[in-house]
Amino acid sequence: MVGRARIYVCGVTPYDVTHLGHAATFVWVDAAERVLRRLGVQTEVCRNVTDVDDVLFDAATRAGAHYDRFAAVQQFHFERDMDALGVRRPMHEPRAHTYVPQVVELASALLEAGAAYESGGGVYFSGAPALERSGIFRDEAVELLRQNGGRVDDPNKRDPLDQAVWQPSVEGEPAWPSPWGPGRPGWHAECTAMALSTYGPALDLHAGGADLRFPHHAYEAAQAEAATGVTPFARSWLHVGTVRLGGEKMAKSTGNLVFVSDLLGQVDGRVVRTLLLDRAWATPWDYAPQLLARAADRLAALHAAAGQPHSTGAGEAYVLDALVDDLDVPTAIDRAIDAGGSAARELVQVLAL
């Protein structure tokens, strides 16, 4: 396989320590990139930092810190966790607050294309195309927007589905100049602007947690396509299955979180990496401590197999085939343990286990 793969993954909002749900997304993107590189593809990863965001402003205010400084400290912790998990640093790491002029340009382009309108000092993207591409019903879409800071009751909107590309800042929030008055970017528009600025109008693989499918990714892609006229914005999507605890999604709001740093205090980063990768990437799952012990056993078996001098059976190609077949890591690990020798060493190397 030859060619280039432009990968974009929605990064973190640096307002809290990294939990296992976040880590799952970035470890899977890292695995996908490593497999593509093994196949000879030139990969580029862009992982943004959403450092202009409501939840960040709120957390910084509570901590009594300037939001920018607060974000930088949280970002440091995040990168330390990612290093311990063997996640390669991305080639591009745009920070939202340095892409404000690009969001202003995006808003202008969307107004010009007739895909957005100006109202009350903001610019709103008409949500119909985002709803259409999502394939979900309107009521469900409104509810998901409500749960995801979509400000469905904003009186400046023509329709609750419309989302701010640009919005006036309220008291205490940072504000930047724009043709529509001082304000700040909307969440989806930030990613659209950073992705378009990094890669141009199209990219090859867009990744993120499954909960970003709607609204975030639907709006990000709909805005990009409306602004550039190039379809599709993303040639493929990797939506990583939600990590739950006690049957519920890990979320700051519910407090049911497993922090990566806590696990790294108990086991090697490669065990956590194995825990995240030794499963179907799209399937939601529940974390339990015994799964960590199981991952440690699997990794030990793989390393023991890699210590054998020779492979038996079909060897390296057989292991790689499983990875190429929709990133089937569990099968690849089974085959590597069976075959041993160079086949197992190959898998250890490709997946950085």
Report CA-CA distances (Å) from 195 to 177, 320, 338, 351.
22, 30, 42, 26
Nearer to Zn ion (CB atom), residue 86 or residue 232: 232
- As measured in angstroms, the least distance from the Cβ of 191 to Zn ion is 3
Residue 21, Cβ density class (10 Å: 0-12 exposed, 13-18 middle, ≥19 buried): buried
Nearer to Zn ion (CB atom), residue 46 or residue 329: 46
**Region near Zn ion per CB under 5 A, out of 3-11, 56-64, 169-177, 337-345:** 3-11
Nearer to Zn ion (CB atom), residue 242 or residue 274: 242
Other CB atoms within a 10 A radius of the CB of residue 301 amount to 15
**Region near Zn ion per CB under 5 A, out of 6-14, 141-149, 239-247, 329-337:** 6-14
Binding mask 136-175 for Zn ion (x = CB under 5 A): ----------------------------------------
- As measured in angstroms, the least distance from the Cβ of 10 to Zn ion is 3
Nearer to Zn ion (CB atom), residue 204 or residue 316: 204
Nearer to Zn ion (CB atom), residue 22 or residue 335: 22
Report CA-CA distances (Å) from 41 to 2, 203, 343.
5, 14, 21
Look up residue 277 and give its amino acid.
L
Nearer to Zn ion (CB atom), residue 191 or residue 351: 191
SS (H, E, C) 129-193: HHHHHHCCCHHHHHHHHHHCCCCCCCCCCCCCCCEEEEEECCCCCCCECCCCCCEEECHHHHHHH
Window 7 to 46, contacts with Zn ion (CB under 5 A): 10
Binding mask 289-318 for Zn ion (x = CB under 5 A): ------------------------------
Nearer to Zn ion (CB atom), residue 165 or residue 319: 165
- As measured in angstroms, the least distance from the Cβ of 93 to Zn ion is 13
Residues that bind Zn ion (rule: CB under 5 A) add up to a total of 2
- As measured in angstroms, the least distance from the Cβ of 220 to Zn ion is 6
Strands 205-209 and 237-240: parallel
Per-position b or e across 190-203, b if 16+ CB within 10 A of its CB: bbbbbbbbbbeebb
- As measured in angstroms, the least distance from the Cβ of 216 to Zn ion is 5
- As measured in angstroms, the least distance from the Cβ of 11 to Zn ion is 8
Window 52 to 91, contacts with Zn ion (CB under 5 A): none
Window 252 to 291, contacts with Zn ion (CB under 5 A): none
Alpha-carbon span 5 to 43, nearest angstrom: 5
Strands 183-185 and 205-209: unpaired
Is residue 242 within 8 A of residue 1, CB to CB? The reply is no
Nearer to Zn ion (CB atom), residue 103 or residue 333: 103
- As measured in angstroms, the least distance from the Cβ of 208 to Zn ion is 6
Nearer to Zn ion (CB atom), residue 10 or residue 35: 10
- As measured in angstroms, the least distance from the Cβ of 31 to Zn ion is 20
Q: Is 191 in the site for Zn ion (CB under 5 A)?
A: yes
Alpha-carbon span 335 to 137, nearest angstrom: 43
Which residues lie near Zn ion (CB under 5 A)? 10, 191
